[in-house]
A and B are shown apart, each in its own frame.
Chain A
């Protein structure tokens, strides 16, 4: 009996020893050098340790290690997922019941439990900065909670140093939540005087008063996120790269706009817009990967178009009348209905004719390779090369055009170029002063300044006519037009028929009629655009 028991124990012992071998192979921890000093005894560790190092997912690779978080993880005895779920639910309930202290405490626990779960940081930071902040009536308290969300993200980024999305969100919240809200003037001012040491890089010693602007701080965080991607190979996951990489330049543009709203013009305004222009062009020349596996430069659309036109021109030159001939051949192959649809003037086409004509036009298109195949034998090789190049450039141009729309590239490029000009800066300065005069009931001065401003704006619009029918990124021009009309009304004068910005005024009347005194304006302009249609059912 005793012998059997002894043998059983021996077998157990051998089994334990046998299990230690795979355990050691898989789980042996790595021994690493302290600091940067290599150590002769360094060992890469077991399979798991090596895989963690290879994929950069070991605790030390991910970011700071929090002893409290590790303790909580151990204390949950493997039920971390369940505990995280319960805490998530608890945070939601606390939010519903307006227990903000409870929300904060729960989010802290949640973060300690799941420090590498990026969605927790991002979702809950948004919750705090956007959803909880608005629950407060006092804008000081709202600002406090916006900051709490930002600090939460900053804490998250310390535990996840290779995660650009968290740093990107810090930039986004700092720039947009503070700079775009209805209370942006109050928030920006609070941000400027904020000396909260918990707000990293934001104390007086590290940042001059001049740089304490939410757009510039946001810009720095966006740049940090980009540096992570560029220098350390971090991934932006499913984020749109055009939005991601455009943010520093967009921040500069928004900063310049905010300066104008704050009444800061002249040199500072000019420098801000010049910097914005430089940054936007730099962004336009950046290598951008696309979903089509192409590398494009947004600023090179026009150059690509030119190269494409040249390639087509060279191709056509190899067989001068061939393209017309091919189009005629294709047209002859169309059905009578399609031909009839094409022959009908555009304005008179029925819906079906529009469809038929569109299909027919597509079928009449002469593809470059098709064209090259019909070129004389002697030039065919050259033709095929040119056709291939033209096709490639066509695709490239369409991809650039599509991706330009994502960030409204062309608009901002022209805007930066326009806003840094002397007339534009002067016009904005005068409009700002005119409004101040109007608010102080100095009507004559306000009128004079408005008229001077409009003259400068005329020069600007003449140079950049694409902005005639545009709000130019805000309400400044419609507000100035409305302000000027109010001044004249109070002076009992009609709106001048020879108004220098008549085209801009009409465009504003079409676009935003409610912001302008339409009846008063129509008294001066018989050709003014019609007023808005009242919705049905309204008196």
Chain B
């Protein structure tokens, strides 16, 4: 699985993570800065209108009012307002969105190809993304139009004339709409999971002819025994499994498209029939223990990373074969309790050949285990690299002593794992001038197999968070903008949230082809991203304008939530458990945005005359 932005454990992320000062402190600093800037701007504007004394007084009163509102917010009134929002959402045909989702599921088969290499990944990505976009759209429309419509129809007076505080109106609306979308999300989630399971479910035909020995080709190659075709694929049945089937009546197929089937032989009236069970191993939720990766270069010295073999994407770092170069993972929490039956090591590495070598032979490598404290090490095995597949190796509790086969076995936890549960795993490539590509998530210890539907639900938590944030933004903008403008502002926040990384690259001048204005010129002149712009007045103006706009872009890119980062679809689709740490980080991030956006909403609504 590819993890480009890996998060540290929750508390490290929150308080301090390596050279990063910790998310909490960054959040506090950002909120403080924004508050100071906001207050200063308000003070300047109000001073111009009323003089400094009055300005200070007004600001103080506004802040005190918000604080008072927040402190005296009544859950009962918020609940009542939220219930009103729910009723309003239902009245505004929110269920149309749900019907649309059903329609998408009904016709999804037209657009999804079950013959892909990993259909489970394709289907999971599809349903999660479809749900996500639909729910976000609903949240956007519901939240942006609600308050402006009430203001326009004057129905807001039926609420504000009651003893409710503005903060309660804003919070009630936000929670109400979020509750409606949550309900929809839950139903969509259940239907999506059922859709995925149902669509992936299949079996294959298998006859005695399929299992009979095949005639070899002119070159002596014997075609494999395979099942019938279903969902555009078939499975090979190896000769040892055919033998097992004949002897025990049970066997398994080879894995294809990420799953396999169990075969049962049933003999009735002297005729043997073969039945294949449902697909197995298709939906997974591996719970990995991830380590930290360090490198050793070809000279045997510690290195920050390996070699770049010329790939544009530098995710994998390569180690040279036939030299001391190695990738070394250090795992923590390796205890007998967590791994009572031995340690399962899984890896997904890349191979780069500087020459073809023997075409039909994989590149050889070695796995060595080491105790980080005592430096006692043990060669687990030499292996053949498998690319784009999860390659599993079992480390038994007692390992054979390769140096002294007659001697006592090596105790994994006694000798190779340190007393504080740490273990080093070293991967080397053994063939000269060939390379292995490694990244931190390439090698991990499989702690257990999680429950796929639970993981699926965790994936939906991330969508839920996105939805809550979009709702909060929508309500916040709608407190002082009219419906269409609030919709555009929320849409802008949402799109910006999905492209935060791009906005940051623009703000920091790291985007190829320059900023907005330079790009406009390039489009007009049909120049590519790397071509030098002509040095003239127009280009100078464009570059100057880009410099000016970088400042607001920087602020926006730092303030908007990174909605893409809040998406865990990749974990679910690739079959990896969304860890509690990651979930907690996402929830905290969501909360970190939710509170200030809500407070801004209170403030804006309070400043409107209608609320006074």
Contact = CB atoms under 8 A, between A and B. Distances in A.
Interface of A: 67-68, 71-72, 96-101, 104-105, 108-109, 112, 136-139, 141, 144, 182-183, 186, 189, 192-193, 195, 197-198, 209, 262, 264
Contacts of B313: 96-98
The 10 closest A-B pairs by CB, nearest first: A68-B110, A137-B351, A193-B223, A137-B387, A183-B359, A96-B313, A189-B221, A192-B217, A101-B118, A96-B312
A429 to B, nearest CB: 15
Interface stretch (B161-169, B224-232, B293-301): B224-232
Nearest to B109: A68
Nearest to B385: A137
Given A193-B223, A195-B223, A197-B229, A97 B2 contact: yes
B315 A112 contact: no
Contacts of B226: 195
Given A96-B312, A108-B113, A109-B111, A189 B219 contact: yes
Given A98-B388, A137-B362, A182-B359, 7 more contacts: A67-B110, A68-B111, A71-B110, A97-B313, A104-B117, A136-B388, A192-B219
A137 B353 contact: yes
Interface string B327-365: 000000000000000000000001101001001101100
Contacts of A104: 113, 116-117
Contacts of B312: 96
Nearest to B217: A192
B211 interface: no
B360 A186 contact: yes
B116 A105 contact: yes
Contact of B217 (A71, A108, A189): A189
Q: Which of B107, B121, B219, B386 has the most CB of A within 10 A?
A: B219
A101 B219 contact: no
12 contacts: A68-B111, A72-B111, A98-B2, A99-B2, A101-B117, A104-B117, A108-B113, A137-B387, A138-B386, A141-B387, A193-B223, A262-B219
Interface in B116-165: 116-118, 121-122, 125
Nearest to A136: B387
B6 interface: no
Interface residues of B, number: 37
B111 A138 contact: no
Contacts of B2: 97-99
A193 B226 CA distance: 12
B8 interface: no
Interface in B86-108: 107
B534 interface: no
Interface in B535-564: none
B115 interface: yes
Contact of B356 (A72, A141, A182, A198): A182
A218 to B, nearest CB: 18
Nearest to B434: A137
Contact of B115 (A109, A182, A198): A198
Nearest to A112: B111
Contact of B122 (A98, A105, A136, A264): A105
B211 to A, nearest CB: 15
A137 B363 contact: yes
B420 interface: no
Contact of B359 (A97, A186, A192, A262): A186
Contacts of A96: 312-313
Contacts of B224: 193
A100 B217 contact: no
A123 B125 CA distance: 26
B218 interface: yes
Contacts of A141: 387-388
Q: Which of A100, A137, A186 has the most CB of B within 10 A?
A: A137
B363 to A, nearest CB: 7
A193 B117 contact: no
A101 B232 contact: no
Nearest to B222: A193
B185 to A, nearest CB: 23
A298 B467 CA distance: 70
Contact of B218 (A72, A198, A262): A262
A193 B385 contact: no
B528 to A, nearest CB: 14
A193 B221 contact: yes
Nearest to B117: A101
A318 to B, nearest CB: 62
Contacts of B315: 97
A7 B404 CA distance: 107
A182 B359 CA distance: 8
A161 to B, nearest CB: 21
Contacts of A105: 113, 116, 122, 125
B431 to A, nearest CB: 12
B122 A101 contact: yes
Contacts of B351: 137
A199 to B, nearest CB: 11
Nearest to B315: A97
Contacts of A197: 229
Contact of A193 (B111, B116, B217, B362): B217
A71 B359 contact: no
Q: Which of A67, A112, A192, A193 has the most CB of B within 10 A?
A: A193
Q: Which of A67, A101, A141 has the most CB of B within 10 A?
A: A101
Contacts of A192: 217, 219, 221
Contacts of A72: 111
Contacts of A97: 2, 313, 315
Given A71-B110, A109-B111, A198-B115, A139 B218 contact: no
Contacts of A136: 387-388
A71 B107 contact: yes
Interface in B355-397: 356, 359-360, 362-363, 385-388
Nearest to B353: A137
Given A68-B111, A193-B217, A193-B224, A198 B232 contact: yes
Contacts of B215: 209
A138 B217 contact: no
A189 B315 CA distance: 35
Contacts of B122: 101, 105
B359 A139 contact: yes
Given A137-B362, A192-B217, A101 B111 contact: no
A137 B321 CA distance: 15
Interface in B189-247: 215, 217-219, 221, 223-224, 226, 229, 232
